[in-house]
Amino acid sequence: MKAATMKAATMKAATAMASLSTAMATAAATTIDSTHRILESNTPDSTTTCPTSLLDESTVDACLTWQKSESSKYNCTADSYLSSLTPGKYAGLTANYLSFNTEQAFPHFPERAEMLTRCTGGTIIFSEASDIAVDPITDIGSADAVGAEIYDAYVMIYSFTREASSLGLLETLNERIRENTVNLQYEDMFPKVRNMGEYRKDGKTNIDLLMADGDFFTPVIRIDLLERDGLPMPHTWDDLVEIARFYNGTDLNDDGESHDDWGFCIYPRTGSGFNDAWIPELMYSTWATTDQTRGIQEGFLFDEETLDPNIGTGFEKAMNYWKDLWPLSADACITSTFVEGRCAIGIAPPGCWKSVFVNTDEGGVAWRDRTNGDWGPVLRDENGEALWRPTFKDGTYAEPYRLKPLGSLEVIDRETDTLVECGPNTCPKGEKIKHSNELPKDDRANRLVD
């Protein structure tokens, strides 16, 4: 029985929304119904209630007319969340938001902000940070410097916020989340990502960050190719290299061409802009499978005693994998290479795979019309069926298969810097590689050979 170390899905620097102040949190309101009238007091954020019976009929009618005219200025019908808000609730209020790489990473944020303005009257002004690690902290402040506090909220890298949380410089969001659990669906968030926004202080878990994006590298594979060619599911980096070599430069989508078909597609690959910074993280995750064998509490980048870099046999092995894979690879997300069926294996963040798995209309792997560039519509026959999709032997659509992060059958003995077999003593976190007949009945990998 063999076991392989399995690196937990490697998390890139996740981004989060942090709030510094309570802009748009409260606003004075004037409403009226058949029983009560709510009048604004001299205090901007408070109201006073009195019975409508104290007012003459003409005053009540005038107030109702005014309220109706005010409500008609706003449109909260775009979705269920906006319809839950009070029209004009934030009229006249402005919040300053420090974003980063908005066009590529968060293009929907400005769109949502415009919808919020049309509904509530509040305005969110977007600014772009030049350095996501430095600019938010400069504005928030630190133990060494008082922040400018120009902005009300930020896009931040979660791992750079701990000092601000410890100093109490970020608003704790627990109550806001508790009051909006239905709309936020907070418990539906991936637990690992959700926990990254938490900070333990004074015996209490404070939620200082509302996580907006937590990308980890997810491998997927064309399971139809494995079934067709009698190949097993890959479990290790050695398996991955072998399969990538086997399929690279072969016709993977039955279009009669093989010059632009690849054994391996990844994101990011050089040319992806700011996200090129994730490429070393891909390589570190490979390195961790041999050198980090006892869980995430065990470091592997530096020697625990001397802090010298652990550049040794494990690092060399990981880099050699990527030396083998790089010439076999193409982009997985920016181009349509993967969704057109010209890749055997892909590794990319979940946001990339949403275009394949979630968009049911024009999603999925299929031939596409590239007349007007990449990511054209699916090519269909006269009956509306896709001209080509990957299929199993039974003719059903073979959606690419998501598999666990890859591991290693050998791990580093830190005393000797040599590779030894993964076993209960050398890698206690290792997982047994299951045979296909041990998989659940609904696991599509149970049709593959071992």
DSSP annotation string for 109-128: HHHHHHHHHHHH--EEEEEE
Count of helices and strands (H, E) across the chain: 14, 19
115-144 tens-digit pLDDT: 999 999 999 999 999 999 899 999 999 999
pLDDT of 246 over the 90 cut:
yes
- Identify the pLDDT of residue 215: 76
Confidence grade of residue 15 (pLDDT, cut at 50, 70, 90) = low
- Stretch among 12-16, 99-103, 125-129 having the lowest mean pLDDT: 12-16
176-225 tens-digit pLDDT: 999 888 888 888 888 888 888 899 888 999 999 998 877 789 999 999 99
Query: Which residue type occupies 123?
Result: T
β-pair type (407-408, 218-221): unpaired
Q: Which of 238-242, 274-278, 362-366 has the highest mean pLDDT?
A: 238-242
Query: Which residue type occupies 169?
Result: L
Q: Which of 68-77, 366-375, 383-392 has the highest mean pLDDT?
A: 383-392
- Identify the pLDDT of residue 58: 83
β-pair type (343-348, 262-266): parallel
Confidence grade of residue 360 (pLDDT, cut at 50, 70, 90) = low
* CB contact at 8 A, 433 and 440: no
Instruction: Point out which residues pair with 4 in neighbouring strands.
Output: 431
The mean pLDDT of the chain is: 85
Of 89, 146, 147, which Cα lies nearest the Cα of 121? 89
- Identify the pLDDT of residue 56: 83
Hey, what are 367's tokens? 């031939």
CA distance 96 to 106: 16
CA distance 186 to 183: 8
Q: What is residue 11's DSSP assignment?
A: B
- Identify the pLDDT of residue 371: 86
pLDDT of 27 over the 70 cut:
no
Dihedral of CA 352/112/170/273: which sign?
positive
Hey, what are 84's tokens? 């839950």
* CB contact at 8 A, 243 and 263: yes
CA distance 97 to 216: 26
- Identify the pLDDT of residue 361: 63
CA distance 261 to 248: 6
Helix (H, G, I), strand (E, B) or coil at 330: strand
Of 330, 289, 317, 302, which Cα lies nearest the Cα of 426? 289
279-311 tens-digit pLDDT: 888 999 999 999 999 888 888 999 888 999 999
Distances (CA, A) of 325 to 300, 356, 368, 399: 23, 23, 27, 23
